Homo-oligomer: A and B are copies of this chain.
Amino acid sequence: MDSSLLPFFQPRGVAVIGVSTSPEKLGHGVARNLMASGYSGAIHLVGRKAEMLFGHPIYSDIGQVPDPVDLAVIIVPPQDTPRVLAACAARGIRAAIIASSGFREAGPEGAALEAHCIEIARSHRMRLLGPNCIGLIDTYLPLDTTFLQSAMPSPGNIGFISQSGAFCAAIIDWARGEGFGFSQIVSLGNQADINETDLLPAMAADEHTRVIVLYMEGISDGRRFVEVAREVTRRKPVIALKAGRSESGQRAAASHTGAMAGSESAFDAAFERAGVLRTDSAEQMFDWARALADCPLPPGKRIAILTDAGGPGVIAADALSTHGLDLAALRADTMAKIRSVLPPAASTVNPVDMLASASPADYAGCLRLLLSDPGVDAALVILPPPPMFRAEAVAEALIPEIRSSAKPVVVALMGSLLTQQAAESFRRARVSTYPFPERAASALDALVRRSEFLATPPSDDGANAGGKEVESHLTLAPRRSIAGDSPEELLSGYGIQFAPLRLARTPEEAAAFATQMGFPIVMKIASRDVPHKSDAGGVRLGLDSAEACLVAYTQLIEGVSAAKPEARIEGVYLQRQIPPGQEVILGAVRDPQFGPLVMFGSGGVEVEGLKDVAFALAPLTPSEAERLISRTWAGRKLGGYRSLPAADLEAARYALVQISRLAMDHPEIEEIEINPLRVLNKGAVAVDIRMRINPQ
């Protein structure tokens, strides 16, 4: 971790500046929580009145505070903050939390104050958390710099970084009711200095933190976030709840790619690239986090369900299937052993339904059998209030099996009063429980995804996109200005064939253009009034000489004019004849946060209607390009589908890698789109290209 952040996480002394003896003041709350947290370093209070608080003197100035003091928590009115910050700097403090609000979030005046604070901090190499934040909590150090009314969370293994202080406050209280704890919590506030990207490696370095959850509404430097997060996620799982979807406006777009690439597509692509699990709801974020903090990872996605009731077992099976997880096929000997201990009417086929008479020993014995089946990667145990036994007896029987297993087990503990003691036993044993099978299944899905992510070698996921894997394909085009390049030259520099369409307005022009383009040539009538050109006799194929073009021009114009006298005809379009194939769209658009975002999918004019497209951050390795392609129907059918013959998937993949490189190489390209790219039996040809350049 960046050593300048150490004073936040290992301060030898903390000064609270702006304390008050009135309990309703926030400055009083900070002092109270810091004392109550059990922080073992030096605690110093600074305030306007020279009184005592909680047995500590209140100094009137930070300059009077004795050593050691590594961290200042500032909660004075915004207009006083720059002065206090400067005094801290003069005192040699290099880390400050500004908890006060009234800065950038409050308007231009506050923004000026915030800018002033940044200036002071920069000039003294001081790091700032906030302003407008609730500070930080470390349950192991321990340290609590917040002013919240809630008690400090219990120690746990979840690290929580939040761009919303109120969300932190609510979660701290909620988690206490749910019975889970945190290792560290950091509220970012306005992020005048420290942001989520700075904190990720710091939190990942904490030995007690096993999983990091991130609430964010925006991002300061998208590319840097991806770079840092992809390193962190190799070591510890990161889950993000990114809010503000509905605020993502449509961007001005000159292409389908631009029109479809909302900033949410960019966030999705960035999280995917970084290995961050994205969640859609706060509840789900912590459902996943609890499982990731406490469960081993499953070797695969074959899940066994153990239940004493059919209905919840069916619900669990549905939920697993929704997440794409598999119901494990149990081995015959596993089923035989289970059958030998259960009543005859019990179901020994997964979901294993032990029936309502299931005893604590039945639960434990069957779970042990399931976990020892090599075809089972994880188990979901369902425990409603058992009609004949106490739920806590079942819990006590299950816990040793769960804790001693190398495979993950999550429990759907359904109920409330009758299952309360069981819930407490499970919590103490760090077994993840959920009130319904659906949520337990979702937690298993998070474990499986984490396991699959770690199984993908990092070298394969884009880190070397600029490296050998791509360059082996061809000698790369030099990175140079594209000013003056024709689209044809630009694409050919990246090894993509282009067959442009040209409009000829006279027979002679048609013959001349055709000669430049190369034969055979396709000629089509150019008229907006003739939508179905083939049907109107407006298409000629296989023209193989200038003479043939001269003749065809006249025939085409005359034929269509005769058939459709009302049609306005501009001339004819010429194109080198491309063999039949499958047509796809490739595009790239520059996202303001994350840089070039690449799109692949079903092309034509219906791109936005069909929505069969997928996005990824550029640059792409060939294997990333292949994954992107396989996420769309257009991509899957390149392998052939019914009467549709297979096309050159490799050529499509290559073109996609190259367009991602092109977009990376030329930051002046705002949007570029090949629509369609015709993927042939062998090779692929760009039929049409659109591009928008930023003139600056």
Which A residues are within 8 Å of any B CB, using their own CB? Answer: 24, 26, 101-102, 105-107, 110, 147-150, 162-167, 169-171, 173-178, 215, 217, 241, 243-247, 280-283, 308-312, 314-315, 317-322, 327, 344-345, 355-356, 384-385, 387-388, 414-420, 435-439, 528, 531-532, 534-535, 537, 541, 579-580, 605-606, 609-612, 633, 636-637, 641-645
Contact = CB atoms under 8 A, between A and B. Distances in A.
A563 to B, nearest CB: 9
B166 A384 contact: yes
A312 B609 contact: no
B416 A176 contact: yes
Given A167-B311, A247-B317, A610-B612, 7 more contacts: A107-B345, A163-B311, A167-B312, A244-B314, A283-B436, A606-B641, A609-B641
A436 B150 contact: no
Nearest to A420: B177
B438 A174 contact: no
A243 B319 CA distance: 9
Given A173-B385, A344-B106, A633-B610, A245 B321 contact: yes
Contacts of A106: 344-345
Given A26-B387, A387-B169, A282 B436 contact: yes
A418 B385 CA distance: 28
A217 B387 contact: no
A246 B237 CA distance: 30
A171 B246 CA distance: 34
A370 to B, nearest CB: 18
Contacts of A26: 387
B605 A247 contact: no
Given A280-B438, A308-B166, A314-B217, A637 B606 contact: yes
Contacts of A419: 173
Nearest to A311: B164
B535 A388 contact: no
A327 B246 contact: yes
B344 A170 contact: no
Contacts of A531: 580, 643-645
Nearest to A415: B173
Given A24-B388, A163-B311, A164-B309, A417 B173 contact: yes
Contact of A609 (B243, B310, B637): B637
A132 to B, nearest CB: 10
Nearest to A610: B633
Contact of A164 (B178, B310, B388): B310
Contacts of A387: 26, 147-149, 169
A104 to B, nearest CB: 10
Nearest to A414: B170
A312 B173 contact: no
Nearest to A284: B438
A349 to B, nearest CB: 12
Contacts of A148: 385, 387
Nearest to A177: B416
Nearest to A357: B101
